């Protein structure tokens, strides 16, 4: 028996989303167990940690931007509570040639239209801010409100606070939260939740990590002859270079083509990376959804709640998802933007 007001919650998935919501539920006094045979080694382990609601909204996606901004507003207090520092230098959007610069302008116009701050930079201002940029980069803008965080430090802090076990204890949980990201759900859970195939699909991302003597001071997102790339600095000279984006149903592996594409683009923006030590190459699947929005809320089974489908935004949206799930369990409230039931007509009409 649970104490009054306390629910026994089992969370499947110890990525940043599952661990964050488990930590929130524990803080609120619930009894929580997280289940994962390989905690913190999925997409969150590969994530660059850009908290970029504006820079990651590629198509006019006001609902996603709104979720991103609400979650970004939670990050400073969340990071402080976990004892992990945010990098607050902002994000540069840069273009290598004239067509790439048009992408920057298009993105900057979108950010402005949606009410975000964009600082224009002339070539001198750009190089003053980021002297490591190649002289061949044609131009760029600064998004001063888009910080970053090291997801591995966040995961480590969460794992200190949240108990994780490899397999569920049968019959223990009153509610199960599925925070399994792009990992296919066991058939029994998918059946109980009434989730049709195609609800969540894997979108492959390949990522490199390197250590540089000459890292950029802030996140650099660029276009190089039409290819998008980002370089995110960490403490100690480490940089994360990402990411490819491809739909796949084969297991995620690092490909020579992926590594080549990332290196070619990143080195054109930041030639100093040539001297960097390669530390790691990783491939993980992002959990994509048909409408690009996460699935956070109820299923047809009252004992089964979803917290998945965060696509490129799992790190950014983790604290908001934690609140949404905890509020839902306590009050029944559901955010219409993330309500999984919205997908039923969309998927039935395919």
Residues that bind ligand GLY (CB under 6 A): 48, 50, 56, 205, 242-243, 286, 312
DSSP E strands in 28-114: the ranges are 31-35, 86-87, 91-95
> Residue 301 burial by CB count (10 A; 0-12/13-18/19+): exposed, middle or buried?
middle
Q: Are 161 and 83 in contact, with CB atoms under 8 Å apart?
A: no
Q: With respect to ligand GLY, which residue has the nearer C-beta, 96 or 204?
A: 204
Q: With respect to ligand GLY, which residue has the nearer C-beta, 205 or 309?
A: 205
Q: With respect to ligand GLY, which residue has the nearer C-beta, 44 or 212?
A: 44
Taking the complex as a whole, the smallest distance from the CB of residue 240 to ligand GLY amounts, in Å, to 9
Q: With respect to ligand GLY, which residue has the nearer C-beta, 91 or 176?
A: 91
Cα 105 from Cα 350, distance rounded (Å): 35
* Residues forming beta bridges with residue 206, ordered by sequence position: 283
Q: H or E element: which one contains 262?
A: helix 256-269
Residue matched to tokens 């964009």: 118
Cα 324 from Cα 190, distance rounded (Å): 21
Cα 30 from Cα 23, distance rounded (Å): 10
Q: With respect to ligand GLY, which residue has the nearer C-beta, 190 or 262?
A: 262
Taking the complex as a whole, the smallest distance from the CB of residue 337 to ligand GLY amounts, in Å, to 19
């Amino acid at each position: 028996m649970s104490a009054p007001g306390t629910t026994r919650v089992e969370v499947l998935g110890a990525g940043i989303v599952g661990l964050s919501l488990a930590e929130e539920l524990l803080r609120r006094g619930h009894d929580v167990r997280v289940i994962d045979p390989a905690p913190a080694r999925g997409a969150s382990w590969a994530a660059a940690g850009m908290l970029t609601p504006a820079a990651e909204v590629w198509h006019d996606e006001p609902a996603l931007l709104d979720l991103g901004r609400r979650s970004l507003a939670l990050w400073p207090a969340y990071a402080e509570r976990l004892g992990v520092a945010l990098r607050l230098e902002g994000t540069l959007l840069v273009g290598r040639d004239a067509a790439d610069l048009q992408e920057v302008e298009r993105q900057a116009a979108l950010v402005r239209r949606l009410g975000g701050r964009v600082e224009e930079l002339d070539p001198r201002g750009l190089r003053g801010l980021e002297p490591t940029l190649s002289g061949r980069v044609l131009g760029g803008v600064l998004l001063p409100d888009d910080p970053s965080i090291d997801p591995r430090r966040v995961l480590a802090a969460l794992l200190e606070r949240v108990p994780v076990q490899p397999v569920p204890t049968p019959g223990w949980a009153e509610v199960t939260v599925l925070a399994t990201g792009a990992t296919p759900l066991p058939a029994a859970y998918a059946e109980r939740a009434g989730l049709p195939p195609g609800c969540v699909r894997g979108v492959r991302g390949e990522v490199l990590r390197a250590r540089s003597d000459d890292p950029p001071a802030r996140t650099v997102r660029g276009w190089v002859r039409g290819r998008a790339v980002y370089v995110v600095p960490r403490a100690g000279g480490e940089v994360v270079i990402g990411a490819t984006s491809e739909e796949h149903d084969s297991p995620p592996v690092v490909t020579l083509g992926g590594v080549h594409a990332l290196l070619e683009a990143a080195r054109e923006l930041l030639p100093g990376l040539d001297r960097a030590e390669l530390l790691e190459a990783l491939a993980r699947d992002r959990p994509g959804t048909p409408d690009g929005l996460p699935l956070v809320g109820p299923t047809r089974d009252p004992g089964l709640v979803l917290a998945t489908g965060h696509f490129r935004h799992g790190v950014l949206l983790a604290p908001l998802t934690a609140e949404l799930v905890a509020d839902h369990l306590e009050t029944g409230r559901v955010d219409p933007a993330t309500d999984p039931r919205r997908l039923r007509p969309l998927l039935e009409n395919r």
